[in-house]
Structure formats: structure tokens, C-alpha cells
Amino acid sequence: MLKKGKKNYAYMAYRKNEQGFTFFSMLVTITILFTTLPLLGFLLKSVNYSSNYDDVAVHQFFHFLQNDVTDSIDYDIEDDMITLHIPGKEETIASIGQYKQLVRRQVDGKGHEIYLRDIKDFTITSLAYGFHVSILSLQGEHYEKTIVFYN
């Protein structure tokens, strides 16, 4: 049997059951949020981010140096600077050494191609079969590599 009178529509019945947020639940949510935000900021500041940029840069330098040595026909070492004789149409001389806090490469005494930055000490030691490169960064990291010269 149908009752006469007021009709109930589907959307009205849905709206009657909808409760939404109360003012009290919104206050509790905001309180929890504002008490945890300073903790989150403290935690993010205390996390140590480590970068391997220096390691990658030094390994890339060693790779470039090995390629230059492989392309050259002879080398000379004096005053912690290596001079490479690179053949071509005209023989060019590339010198690699420390300049202030940089390791730079110059071709025929010109240019300023930077291979490494933030270097405290750059040492090259001559060996019978090549040379040994030692690098000390400003952060105190020590890197070494032996480069073999093939005839």
C-alpha cells in the first residue's frame, strides 16, 4: 500500500543520511596537524644527505686522464704537472696540473679546461711504466690512481 502525502525522493534520502565533518572533528584534525609539523621539520633537518658528486667527478677525471694518455705518444712530468704529446696534423701539447683549487687542462699553453674543482693537493709521481696520481679534496677525501703508459 502506498501512503498518500509527502513524496520521498532518492536525493533527499541521501542528504538525510549524510553527516559530514563536525566542528569538533575539524578542531581535532587541525590540532594533530599543527603538533606534528614541527616534529616533521626537526626530523628533516636532522637527516644527513650524502652526495657522491665528488667521487663521480674524480672518477670521471681519472677516465679523461686515461683517455688522454692513451691518445698521446709521450709524456713528461715536472712540478706536479703532466705534459702529454698528442699526435695529429700538428703535434699538440696538453698539460694537466693544479691551478689554485682546480685541476685544469691546457692545450699548447692556451685555454682553461677545468677537470676538477675544490682540490687541496694534486700530486703526480713518475713510475717506470707510467705515473701515479694522488688527489686530496678540500673536504679531506683522498683519491689515488696509477695510470699506465703503453708504448
Asked if pLDDT for residue 40 goes beyond 80, the answer is yes
pLDDT > 90: what percent of the chain?
A: 54
How confident is the model at residue 133, as a pLDDT? 96
Q: What is the pTM of this model?
A: 0.66
Residues 6+ apart with CB under 8 A from 150: 70
CA contacts within 13 A on the Cβ side of 100: 4
- Band of residue 5 on the pLDDT scale cut at 50, 70, 90: low
Which residues face 142 on adjacent strands? Answer: 136
SS3 95: strand
d(CA 125, CA 90): 28
Q: Tell me, rounded to whole angstroms, the distance of Cα 66 from its chain centroid.
A: 22
- Band of residue 10 on the pLDDT scale cut at 50, 70, 90: low
How confident is the model at residue 64, as a pLDDT? 93
Over residues 48-73, the pLDDT tens digits come to 777 788 899 999 999 999 999 999 99
Asked if pLDDT for residue 19 goes beyond 90, the answer is no
Least confident residue range of 8-12, 77-81, 105-109, 121-125: 8-12
Classify each residue of 54-87 as buried b or exposed e, where b means 16 or more C-beta atoms within 10 Å of its C-beta: beebbeebbeebeebbeebeebeeeeeebbbebe
Higher pLDDT, 48 or 2: 48
pLDDT > 70: what percent of the chain?
A: 85
